A and B are shown apart, each in its own frame.
Chain A
Amino acid sequence: AQSVSQHNHHVILSEAASLELGCNYSYGGTVNLFWYVQYPGQHLQLLLKYFSGDPLVKGIKGFEAEFIKSKFSFNLRKPSVQWSDTAEYFCAVIPNNAGNMLTFGGGTRLMVKP
């Protein structure tokens, strides 16, 4: 079945550590890619998105993600995390086929220790 996979379910880091969260998808063809963040008790908010062009995408709050088509990956990175980055992070994909549904990965819970 076509899917979106986030390999790390829980990540614990200390402040100032670097972050990389993995995301892989199994859809062929053209895709739109997203990372959303959900802070505790809140709704999902868009961090960054990739539609086309430069595969290195910069988002809000110092986050970036790199689309590697050959690896079907769209990993999220941040050089130095802060306590306020504690949240759940969701990778999402829209394949350019019939339907254009937004499908999410299972999420990664990040805890940043002060």
Chain B
Amino acid sequence: DAGVIQSPRHEVTEMGQEVTLRCKLISGHNSLFWYRQTMMRGLELLIYFNNNVPIDDSGMPEDRFSAKMPNASFSTLKIQPSEPRDSAVYFCASSRGQGAWNTEAFFGQGTRLTVV
């Protein structure tokens, strides 16, 4: 298996533009986590899906952020409009079962987003 695949690896965009980050889960996994990592705030959980259903989105910063799972193997995280403070590395992780209980989460390589 190729692991969790994120695209793009790097994204540079201008403030106000829409940004879409993509994540492909490992085959057979049914839980998905989106994290954001910055120097100031560390690793923050943004949203968690189980079986395509958002279970907890309390970490999503504001309405500019939205995440979807259009099917069992794919997710998108959209920021519209983007702001410089959204600059961070965004990681996607997937696991089997309910959340990651009694299993482990596998992380993608991350998307480094820079908003100028």
Residue numbers of A with Cβ under 8 A of B are: 32, 34, 36, 42-46, 49, 51, 90, 94, 96, 99-104, 106-107
B77 proximal to A (CB < 8 A): no
Does chain A have a CB within 8 A of B98?
A: yes
Contact flag A94-B100 (CB < 8 Å), given A101-B48, A102-B33: yes
Interface residues on B, range: 20 to 34
Least CB separation from B105: chain A residue: A102
Can you list, as one digit per residue, whether each of B35-73 has a CB less than 8 Å from chain A (1) or not (0)?
100000011010010100001100000000000000000
Measured between beta carbons, the chain B residues less than 8 angstroms from A32 are: 100-102
- A43-B110, A100-B101 given as contacts; is B43 within 8 A of A90 (CB)? yes
Residue of A nearest to B108 (CB): A43
* CB nearest to A9 among chain B residues: B42
Q: A43-B91, A102-B93 are in contact. Are A34 and B104 (CB under 8 A)?
A: yes
**B56 contacts A99, C-beta separation under 8 Å:** yes
Q: A94-B100, A100-B101 are in contact. List 20 more A-B contacts (CB 8 A).
A: A43-B91, A43-B109, A43-B110, A44-B93, A94-B101, A96-B101, A99-B48, A100-B98, A100-B99, A101-B33, A101-B48, A101-B99, A102-B33, A102-B45, A102-B48, A102-B95, A104-B35, A104-B43, A104-B45, A107-B42
Indicate which residue in B43, B56, B104, B110 contacts A101 across the interface (CB closer than 8 Å).
Answer: B56
* Interface pair B102/A51, CB less than 8 Å apart: yes
Contacts A99-B48, A107-B42; A45 near B100 (Cβ below 8 A): no
Residue of A nearest to B6 (CB): A43
| B107 adjacent to A44 (CB under 8 Å) | yes
Residues of A near B33 (CB, < 8 A) are 101-102
- Residues in B neighbouring A99, C-beta threshold 8 A: 48, 55-56, 99
A-B contact pairs, 6 of them (CB 8 A): A32-B100, A43-B91, A90-B43, A94-B101, A99-B48, A102-B105
Interface centre among A32, A90, A100, A103 (most CB of B within 10 A): A100
Residues of chain A within 8 A (CB-CB) of B48 are: 99, 101-102
- In the docked arrangement, what's the CA distance between A49 and B102, Å? 9
